[in-house]
Amino acid sequence: MHWLFKTEPGEFSIDDLEADGTARWDGIRNYQARNFLRDQVALGEGVFIYHSSCARPGIAGQAEVIKTAYPDPAQFDATSPYFDPKASGDDPRWFCVDIRWRATFAEVLPLARLKQLPALADMVLLKQGRLSVQPVTAEQWQVIEGLAE
């Protein structure tokens, strides 16, 4: 399986991931996205990094999963904006994964372009756009990789 992870580039961009090499993908506070991270994202799977809430939203590059789901430490940190007072070490509510940078695309693949492609018509991004962690089919992955080349 493949994935698309959304981020606001002003907070954390593909360039930040490239500079750091690896990152913890944390701060997910949507139950459906959390369930994908916790239950389905697997080691070695490919991830498209999608820039959202910006002038030119779109897919900016690729990463791969290098550590599967574990409790997001921010949920236990009272000074974090992602603190959750209902979470406990025995019963964590939120999870994260670690990813490694794989590629930065020469140009962001804009959402407007993705919407024009019939092969992507069923993509979760185009049907449930606000979801921050979402599956990408093998066919969709190939189409998008082809666009990036």
| DSSP state string for 105-130 | EEEEEEHHHHHT-GGGTT-HHHHSTT
Question: In Å, what is the CA distance from 35 to each residue of 39, 70, 86, 133?
Answer: 6, 12, 17, 9
Amino acid 149: pLDDT? 85
Pairing of strands 133-136, 58-71: unpaired
Sorted by where each begins, the domain ranges of the chain are 2-148
Q: What is the pLDDT along the chain (149 residues), one digit of tens a residue?
A: 999 999 999 999 999 999 999 999 999 999 999 999 999 999 999 999 999 999 999 999 999 999 999 999 999 999 999 999 999 999 999 999 999 999 999 999 999 999 999 999 999 999 987 899 999 999 999 999 999 98
User: In the prediction, which pLDDT does 128 show?
Assistant: 87
- For residue 69, give both structure tokens: 């789901």
What does the pLDDT read at residue 36?
98
Q: Which two tokens stand for residue 74?
A: 């921010």
Residues 6+ apart with CB under 8 A from 85: none
pLDDT at site 105: 97
* Total-model pTM: 0.95
Name residue 9's amino acid: P
Residue of 23, 111, 129, 2 whose CA lies nearest to 11: 23
User: What pLDDT score was predicted for residue 23?
Assistant: 98
* Phi and psi angles of residue 142, each rounded to the nearest 5 degrees, phi first: -65, -40
Q: Which fold has domain 2-148?
A: ph1033 like fold (3.10.590)
